[in-house]
Structure 1
Amino acid sequence: MKHLIQKRIALCTVVLICFSCKEQTGENGVQQQKGPLPQKEYLSYVDTRVGTAPSIADVTVTETEEPLGYVSPILGYPSALTHWTPQTAKWTNRVITVPVPYWYDQEKIQGFRGTRYPNGAVVGDWGPMSLMPMTGKIKIDADVRASKFSHDSEVAKPHYYSVKLDDYDIKAEFTAAAKTGFFQFTYPESKSSSVVFDGVYVPGYYKVIPEKNEIEGYMVIAGHFRSHFVAKFNKGFDSYNLDMLPNVVDNGLVPKGFNATYYNNDKLEGEPAAEEHYSKLNYEWLKAPVKGIKDDFFSARYTGILVGRHTGEHTFTLTTDDGTRMYVNDQLVIDQWKYRAAGTESYTMGLTKGEAYKIRIEYYDGSGATSMQFRCSEPVKVDPKLGPEMALKGTDAKAVYVTFATQDQEKVRMKVGTSLISIDQARANMEGEFPDFDFDKAVAKSAGVWEKELNMIQVEGAEDDKAIFYTALTKCFVNPRNLNEDGKYFSPFDFQVHEGQMYTDLSIWDTFRSLHPLWVLVKPQESTDIINGMLNAYKEGGWLPKWPNPWYRSIMMGTHADAVIADAYVKGIRGFDTDVAFKAMLKNANVKGDRGFSGRVGIEYFNEIGYVPADVYGFYGEPVARTLEFSYDDYCIAQMAKALGKEGYYDDFMLRSKRYINVLDTETGLVRGKKLNGEWLPPYDKSISVWAQGTAHDTEVYYKNHTLLVPHDIPGLADFMGGEEKLVSYLDGFFEKDMYYVGDEFSMHAPYMYNSLGQPWKTQKVVRDMLAKYFFNDVGGLPGNDDCGQVSSWYVFGAMGFYPALPGDPIYQLCSPVFNKVQMNVGNGKVFTIIANNNSKENAYIQSATLNGKPYNLGYISHDAIIAGSELIFEMGPEPNTTWGISK
């Protein structure tokens, strides 16, 4: 498997290169790229399967995690409303259970998913749908209908995917735009060819319109809004049908209804905080289900007596978000007690008419909305005409399917438009993006979009390095997700349609570090749009987003929208209301979260005593990380205040930014949890992080990484250590003992700290070694979950030769570039160029440099110099030059 991706797809890419050639020559109505860099072809280097298998590197990782990319071969324009990807699984069976659609090591494809799973993250897929072409008998269940396939038949690009479904002898191809997927299925001769649609985890509403060759419908997202779609075929239907839903269990089966007890914890512990009675379980709650219960992290137990109305086989289905268990007569029959997105589980058993059965359903909510639907399919014969009749009228169902006869090698084409606003808008999106059924033209159009994206940065170097680079760069532009539809968006924060900008699936805790800074350089207008989207979220929901997916999610620490906004502003990004932005940042810094948004958990303690107390927030409350991150966020607010001329706020927040020192312990020389009364927790207490629960070494790794989370005050951290040489020694041991956790974000800036400590040659060596050790042109080529492009952007910057080690400060630390030449289109007709003369794997050290022809002896470069279109030339060599780059 190792390093074979390019060879496997070489023949397939010939066709795709032709598509991109059309794009450059302006065929099919697509214009050539305008700008200072002549467009080149880079799509042939990209394989979107990189990261879909466990890392092949020797990665430092704890027992509670795995070095997995959590990415899928995503298709769609950059920041698409809906991406499309092959689906090999609805859920994973990994250490962390998440709804990642595709895993390289799985042998069957269940369908093709219209997904909003944030690529590379560990959260939920909201409002997905899937479709599957097949021949023969209709199979609805994803596992049953799944077809074997070979990776040798796959082509996986950001604009085109193709695979052979071996069990059905169907070649499946598709491309995608921002809101529409375009499929081409090449069928064998068959009288029973078909396509099945379902909602992946939840039922949907479906309506067939045979006179238009269309299917329309929607999936309900946590009961509060809908993901609409319209599918249009270039071929008529011979027949159509629905897979009908079981009835909701109500007083007919449970005569006395359900008693509910609610707990203000996620473990059903202690005395109930509230009680309620329901005639049926068919509810969606955005916040608390009853008065007196927390919006998030509560649990519930529902009990009732079911009396059989028929003798025979009954199938129970239970749709919930997050953890759920079901018992019949105290026997556990459904066990999904884990954090997850919405899902449906089923259990089949024989019942006797008139006999009573105890039903108990248990549930816990993590964060976000709550679903609870309990249904039962009774042994009653259904009229076979009902499904087609209801398909014409439109109704809720588990799935819908259409059938038609095909000749051998007949190509059936289908477009699927999506929208969060309405079915009509989904149809308009589809017709606007792909107005006809010319599949080749659609592929060429998508190829042109992606070639333009990749051409923003042009590199020269080894072919394998270019493949790693452009695949990583592709992943940098998948998320965040743009919800704009013809100038409007459906807000997941107030559930209304507005004009303007809205983005979601912002993994801000990760991406503020280098993904957003990359966008500031190459996508300044989109950076403005993202910030305006954040401000709209603040206006509609009360807070800047923290990790929206698609609404507020109370996960991760800090409020790093502060960092994203401040970094953009100090680097010249404009076009947003700075008064509103600063007001929102101050709210983050001073007000406890509400309305289901956690904000800075523990901010009241941080502002009163200078840290987040470990005993107040309990085991795994991560108070140390919160203290460190609140301090950094306050530094960013200070920089924003300074840029806005608010000197009083600047002074105040610079003082606040020093509070990290309150969780640095002189006894251990590391961070350490501190109680409200000032007492320290035991050294290496495992409550440092939920991920540090493995070996003693695992825990030490987390302490070592966390201690470096002071990017805004390296001199202060050095003083704590006992001077710069002590901090250098700490870093030396940190890297030599392989304690750097490249797949996590706490210390991503750590290799660049040597620059600030007067030893830049060590940054050059460490970064070059890490890029070579951890990143490969292979399906196992990512060293950890990509977190919406953060890990990939870390690679992209390092490979180019500079890195934004301190977002909020308009400078970049220099390192040893992988490439001989880098050209970045920074807008306004300007190109920033880095040239590395005599560059090689052996010549990893910078000997000297010039900037615009003049000697340059700084280990960093300013943002202004980059966007001015400067030329930075390095002379490289095999030994460190300990006199270069040390000037202050």
Structure 2
Amino acid sequence: MNHLPLLLLPAAALAADLPAPAKYVDPMIGTAGHGHVFPGATAPFGMVQASPDTGLHGWDRCSGYHYDDTGIIGFSHTHLSGTGCGDLGNLMFMPMTGDIQWDPKPTGNDGGGLRPDSGARAMFNHENEHAETGYYSVKLDGSDIEVELTATERCAVHRYTFPKKGDAEVLIDLNHKVSPPGDAAFEAELEIKDPHTVVGWQKTDGWSNPKTFYFVAEFSEKITGQDFREGGETKDGKSISGKNIKGALHFDLDAGKPLVVKVGVSPVSIDGAKDNLKAEVGDKGFEEVRQGTVAKWNELLGKVTISDKDEAELRTFYTALYHTMVAPNVYNDHDRRWIGPDRKEHADPGFNYYSTFSLWDTFRAANPLYTLLVPEKVGEFTDAMLIHYENTGYHQLPVWTLCGNDTWCMIGYHSIPVIVDAYFKGLTDFNERKMLDAMVDSSNRREWNKEYREKGYAPSGDDGAQGTSRTLEYAFDDWCIARFAEAIGKKRIAHEYDERARNFRNVFDKDAGMMRGKDRNGDWLEPFKPTVVDFRAFTEANAWQYTWSVMQDVPALIELMGGPEAFVAKLDEMWTTEGVESHAPDVTGLIGQYAHGNEPSHHTAYLYDFAGQPWKTQKWIREISEKFYTDQPDGICGNEDCGQMSAWYVFSSLGIYPVNPASGVYMIGSPMFEKSSMKLGNGKTFTVIASGNSKENVYIQEAMLDGKPLDRTWITQKELSAGGTLAFRMGPEPNKEWGVGKTPPAFAY
């Protein structure tokens, strides 16, 4: 990874007044490279993300912002955090002076094909930009306008300071959005309600299709005039509707006197936006709103305490923890009215409805982390999944939901392990039979799943079927269904899904010692080159990266490979085999064939724990952590993916990781801090002590759990949730006797 110079980072002094640990969060981490995060202001799990947009198109602008860009188009209210597909960027505001600049010009080399010096876009310098918990600011070149942003869950507050007395404008662009080229808003409306208030809405297509955001904007100064345009044509009056809608509002301002704009946002209605603004902002000033959001973040971030005097390490850790709680996003009004996948308005269901479930990514570690740190939200997440199922025409639990719609992105039915994990931890309150029906429906209704059920594997081929990845992920989800069915007394269903969970065997080639693609006739795909990422058999990965995806039965995978020695030899070979052949930009963070920048590899380093050589898990966990996580703008090696990339780091920093996230078992790695404590939702505190820990002392010499010797490579959810202390003595050389010879349980509830 090529790190950017530290001098380009936001001035740390500006965050010094924040309380710890919020002051250690740097939202700029992950804005460079391929992290795809946004630097703007948001509340925990909030619907609104007030942030600058530097470009609309291009893979590295999925969040609307990339550190390499030099111009800002404007400041919009919705953004994705670390995804590999772009959308949102709704309701864009941009302050300016002088002649109104309406449309950016194309064919530049900056900002996804838009010239940095055209339209409303303003150049900026990172030295004049700052991001911290709940706050973003930048001074725009040329005009010297200072822009400050803060946010609540459903609202944003802008503060614009103009350097000169006189006419100033705020452009509201309701055609703007982050999207593939040509995928702009297709309908909008803007209206001046009174001299201080503007309302409107924007309906957009895109990855999530369709969606509407309504808003109410209250200005601290009187609107002295307006200009409206539709599709490039000037329109008179105080309201406008149609396609390609933009409006410029005029203000007569004193130099240095801020123009404060309070914006309420709703997915339901303008009245909903108005009520959200009243409930969450009301008469509060910018600083009061900002401090309220900081307090919410600080409460959550303070649930994990680490002992480290290195501020770079503190920034890396707490920014990672922050990123785990940017999504999922609440997607209802303050009164809990919500818009479902049927695109209809629904009344309060008794809980908050959430969307932005990046489940192919987050089921692995981010969702398990929520069960420990924010258990009060986990029940709402699972309830939201069930009512999503009940309000679709296709009876499917969420696959990858955004703004209430399912994008159908990625493979598997990974809401199921999230629900099962939450259920066994006692965090749910749904009807068990209804949920089992939803699980069974979801496992059978996807068309891609038909041949998997009939043949025992999903076929692969030149049509990009990715059948082997599908087989492996379906099999894991099926194991989760079996455990849930068994727990509620549905033995026949449990037996059926236990059989399906063994389907991974049908795509394992013993001669190659790897998972392979198999065609509809049952023949192995040829040619077979395990370093190639070609989407014939695998999803955003190759055979080296997916062969290990049998989280539900690692001992069976070890047996298929010929025993522990052969298994370890294959794992060892993965780290040293060079030459991943891929045009998939997601395959990043490489060590040999290991790709930490994409999720299928995330559990792999922990598999040595199952095969009698845990010191190799300890070695690789530390190397991955040191190499791929820093406090620089490019400090995330791949897409953040709504918290999963960071959740891996949070768990691994604490010395544990849920290889099978629905099993109640955490595998032990190598803790990164001398002491860390996690405040659990049940009021208990779980503490990890690593005596003698350092960058050299990465190997566990001995371990104690609540003062008693621990000679195994895992702990259970029951042990963790009881609180207490897991203590290690660390050293520079492996202790090849510790933790050897004991097999973790497949299920510990």
Give yes or no for TM over 0.5: yes
Note the C-alpha offset of 1:700: 12
Map of 1:548-697 to 2, 5 A cutoff? 548-550=401-403, 551-589=405-443, 591-592=444-445, 599=446, 601-615=447-461, 618-684=462-528, 690=534
The aligned residue for residue 422 of structure 1 is: 269
Note the C-alpha offset of 1:752: 0.6
SS of 1:219 mapped into structure 2 = strand
Change (3 A) 1:242 1:647: same
The CA distance in 2 between the partners of 1:204 and 1:90, in whole Å, is: 18
Map of 1:480-879 to 2, 5 A cutoff? 480-485=328-333, 486-500=335-349, 501-541=352-392, 542-550=395-403, 551-589=405-443, 591-592=444-445, 599=446, 601-615=447-461, 618-684=462-528, 690=534, 702-737=542-577, 738-879=592-733
Whether contact under 8 Å (1:622, 1:689) holds in the other structure is no
Amino acid at match of 2:683: G
Amino acid at match of 1:549: L
The CA distance in 2 between the partners of 1:686 and 1:717, in whole Å, is: 18
SS of 1:678 mapped into structure 2 = coil
Change (3 A) 1:643 1:487: same
The aligned residue for residue 10 of structure 1 is: 12
Note the C-alpha offset of 1:810: 0.3
Map of 1:453-468 to 2, 5 A cutoff? 453-461=300-308, 462-468=310-316
Map of 1:408-447 to 2, 5 A cutoff? 408-447=255-294
Which runs of 5 or more structure 1 residues have no equivalent in the other structure? Answer: 21-40, 55-67, 247-376, 593-598
Q: What do the CA deviations read for 1:5-53 (whole angstroms, capped 9, x no partner)?
A: 7974122113x42xx4xxxxxxxxxxxxxxxxxxxx1122111111111
Note the C-alpha offset of 1:74: 3.5
SS of 2:688 mapped into structure 1 = strand
The aligned residue for residue 405 of structure 1 is: 252
SS of 1:796 mapped into structure 2 = helix
The aligned residue for residue 233 of structure 1 is: 219
Structure 2 residue 39 is matched with structure 1 residue 73: yes
Whether contact under 8 Å (1:613, 1:674) holds in the other structure is yes
Aligned residues with identical type, % of pairs: 33
SS of 1:789 mapped into structure 2 = helix
The CA distance in 2 between the partners of 1:883 and 1:225, in whole Å, is: 57
Whether contact under 8 Å (2:55, 2:61) holds in the other structure is no
The CA distance in 1 between the partners of 2:164 and 2:540, in whole Å, is: 62
Change (3 A) 1:768 1:97: closer
Whether contact under 8 Å (1:170, 1:185) holds in the other structure is yes
Note the C-alpha offset of 1:491: 1.2
Whether contact under 8 Å (2:53, 2:89) holds in the other structure is no
Structure 2 residue 117 is matched with structure 1 residue 138: no
Structure 2 residue 75 is matched with structure 1 residue 112: yes
Instruction: Find the structure with the greater CA-based Rg.
Output: 1
The CA distance in 1 between the partners of 2:198 and 2:141, in whole Å, is: 26
Note the C-alpha offset of 1:643: 2.3
Amino acid at match of 1:714: V
The aligned residue for residue 589 of structure 2 is: none
Amino acid at match of 2:372: L
The CA distance in 1 between the partners of 2:726 and 2:693, in whole Å, is: 14
Whether contact under 8 Å (2:190, 2:201) holds in the other structure is no
Change (3 A) 1:679 1:828: closer
Q: What do the CA deviations read for 1:338-364 (whole angstroms, capped 9, x no partner)?
A: xxxxxxxxxxxxxxxxxxxxxxxxxxx
SS of 2:595 mapped into structure 1 = coil
The CA distance in 1 between the partners of 2:132 and 2:61, in whole Å, is: 23
Map of 1:173-572 to 2, 5 A cutoff? 173-199=148-174, 200=176, 201-202=184-185, 205-209=188-192, 211-222=194-205, 225-245=211-231, 387-389=235-237, 391-392=238-239, 398-461=245-308, 462-485=310-333, 486-500=335-349, 501-541=352-392, 542-550=395-403, 551-572=405-426
Structure 2 residue 26 is matched with structure 1 residue 51: no
The aligned residue for residue 746 of structure 2 is: none
The CA distance in 2 between the partners of 1:552 and 1:882, in whole Å, is: 48
The CA distance in 2 between the partners of 1:715 and 1:168, in whole Å, is: 64
Change (3 A) 1:603 1:206: closer
Amino acid at match of 1:460: S
Note the C-alpha offset of 1:121: 0.7
The CA distance in 2 between the partners of 1:424 and 1:225, in whole Å, is: 17
Whether contact under 8 Å (1:728, 1:757) holds in the other structure is yes
SS of 1:479 mapped into structure 2 = coil
Amino acid at match of 1:107: T
Q: What do the CA deviations read for 1:626-660 (whole angstroms, capped 9, x no partner)?
A: 11111111111112122223333223222211111
Which runs of 5 or more structure 2 residues have no equivalent in the other structure? Answer: 105-117, 177-183, 578-591, 744-749
SS of 1:746 mapped into structure 2 = helix
Whether contact under 8 Å (2:25, 2:132) holds in the other structure is yes
Note the C-alpha offset of 1:3: 6.0
The CA distance in 1 between the partners of 2:421 and 2:501, in whole Å, is: 16
Whether contact under 8 Å (2:228, 2:240) holds in the other structure is no
Say which structure, 1 or 2, has more relative contact order (CA 8 Å, 6+ apart). 1
The aligned residue for residue 266 of structure 1 is: none
Q: What do the CA deviations read for 1:544-590 (whole angstroms, capped 9, x no partner)?
A: 0101123122221111111111121122222222211111111122x
SS of 1:832 mapped into structure 2 = strand
SS of 1:144 mapped into structure 2 = coil
Note the C-alpha offset of 1:97: 7.2
Range 644-653 or range 235-244, more displaced: 644-653
Amino acid at match of 2:196: N
Range 183-192 or range 117-126, more displaced: 117-126
Whether contact under 8 Å (2:224, 2:252) holds in the other structure is yes
Aligned length: 695
**Aligned match of 1:167 in 105, 127, 142?**
142
The aligned residue for residue 123 of structure 2 is: 148
The CA distance in 1 between the partners of 2:321 and 2:387, in whole Å, is: 28
SS of 1:790 mapped into structure 2 = helix
Whether contact under 8 Å (2:665, 2:716) holds in the other structure is yes
Amino acid at match of 2:141: D
Whether contact under 8 Å (2:459, 2:465) holds in the other structure is no
SS of 1:473 mapped into structure 2 = helix
Change (3 A) 1:878 1:793: same
Change (3 A) 1:220 1:710: same
Q: What do the CA deviations read for 1:236-279 (whole angstroms, capped 9, x no partner)?
A: 01111211236xxxxxxxxxxxxxxxxxxxxxxxxxxxxxxxxx
The CA distance in 2 between the partners of 1:769 and 1:5, in whole Å, is: 26
Whether contact under 8 Å (1:127, 1:220) holds in the other structure is no
Amino acid at match of 2:216: V
Q: What do the CA deviations read for 1:82-106 (whole angstroms, capped 9, x no partner)?
A: 21111111112xxx47643111011
Amino acid at match of 1:774: F
Whether contact under 8 Å (2:165, 2:253) holds in the other structure is yes
Change (3 A) 1:531 1:5: farther
Note the C-alpha offset of 1:122: 1.9
Change (3 A) 1:413 1:830: same
TM-score (norm 2): 0.89
Amino acid at match of 2:96: M
The CA distance in 1 between the partners of 2:655 and 2:141, in whole Å, is: 45
The CA distance in 2 between the partners of 1:205 and 1:881, in whole Å, is: 65
SS of 2:500 mapped into structure 1 = helix
The CA distance in 2 between the partners of 1:745 and 1:397, in whole Å, is: 38
Whether contact under 8 Å (1:513, 1:807) holds in the other structure is yes
The CA distance in 1 between the partners of 2:274 and 2:36, in whole Å, is: 31
Amino acid at match of 2:719: A
Amino acid at match of 2:511: E
